[in-house]
Amino acid sequence: MGGNLYWVFVALAAIGAMLIVLGGKKQEGAADWPQSVQWGYLALVIGGFGFLSNYMSFTAVMLVFVLITGVVWALDKWLLAKKRAASGAEAGHFVDYSRGFFPVILVVFVLRSFLVEPFQIPSSSMRPGLVVGDFILVNKFAYGIRVPVLNNVLIPVGQVQHGDVVVFNYPPNPKINYIKRVIGLPGDTVEYRNKRLTVNGKPLTDVQDGTYDYLEKELGLQQITADQFRESQNGKQYKVLNNAGTPVVALSQVQDFPYRDNCRYDDDGFVCKVPQGNYFMMGDNRDNSSDGRYWGFVKDDLMVGKAFMIWMNFGNLSRIGSKIQ
């Protein structure tokens, strides 16, 4: 998170707390708290959420809010409400708003943790299939029902397959989510040489399929023309892009990552042996993708889920409902 945005959230939380403290009491017979208190809680929640997101994942922040509001809800339901009934008092605004926030936050937390999570495509690394501006849905249980935050498989459901398009926590910074295609499973040997992929000694089928033009925002809306190929893996067929004259791998950008010794690099490409419990990912836009070539393997507990559908693109409504190949 940018430094300026961080302080915006801190300021929001502080302003929210001040409005709550100075907001006054509910007028006798009124159904709602003063607007200053209402705005205060809204600012506190947004600011607190943004502040905590600087230190932990979205799911972890959601869990914190679920626990806080859930504890207040439970105490009120089984203890505080009875005491108020005996004395004729009303619930304070903290209890009142916690009771209101809890079911909403809980539903969102359960949906995002176990069923479906939204994700926005941030770059051109998965062109031509996915473009900047696509909002997609990610199946959270495709690879097993997982323990929130820890992300260990609790109930096995399905397995990661070659060719799946997956969202995962970026290994160098797990607070960031990436989306790539699964090229190598645990134990596989992946080789990419002269812009041809080979998995376990078997070249993947790729057939020339014309060219593909797009504007690259990161290069100031520069027009890019790439060669397009139809690639096949594990019965899945999808399109990939290559730029003539671009190196197979920019050796200067290769990082020092866990199991780095499992890979060998040279001017023509690389070969990697995927360690157990890990996967090897690549973007479909092969010459415009920061992927496993540069930062290594993705551990299973970093997996978020399988991308399956585009649910919105405000710039191109015809993409809505498209299945992700």
State the catalytic residues: 125, 180
Peptide linkage before 122 cis (omega within 30 of 0): no
CA angle 247, 252, 255 (to 5 degrees): 115
CA gap 117, 138 in Å, rounded? 5
Distance of alpha carbon 231 from alpha carbon 238, whole angstroms = 6
Q: How far is CA 306 from CA 37, 130, 151, 281, 318, in A?
A: 41, 14, 14, 13, 22
Locate all alpha helices (DSSP H) within 195-246, ordered by sequence.
Answer: none
| Rounded distance between C-alpha atoms, residue 153 and residue 138, angstroms | 17
Query: Percentage helix, strand, coil, to 5, in the chain?
Result: 35, 30, 35
Would you call 234 helix, strand, or coil by DSSP?
coil
What is the C-alpha separation between 262 and 257, in angstroms, rounded?
10
Whether residue 251 contacts residue 162, with contact meaning beta carbons closer than 8 Å, is answered with: no
Tokens for 104, please give them: 């909403």
Give CA–CA dist 213/295, Å, rounded.
28
Contact 269, 191 (CB under 8 A): yes
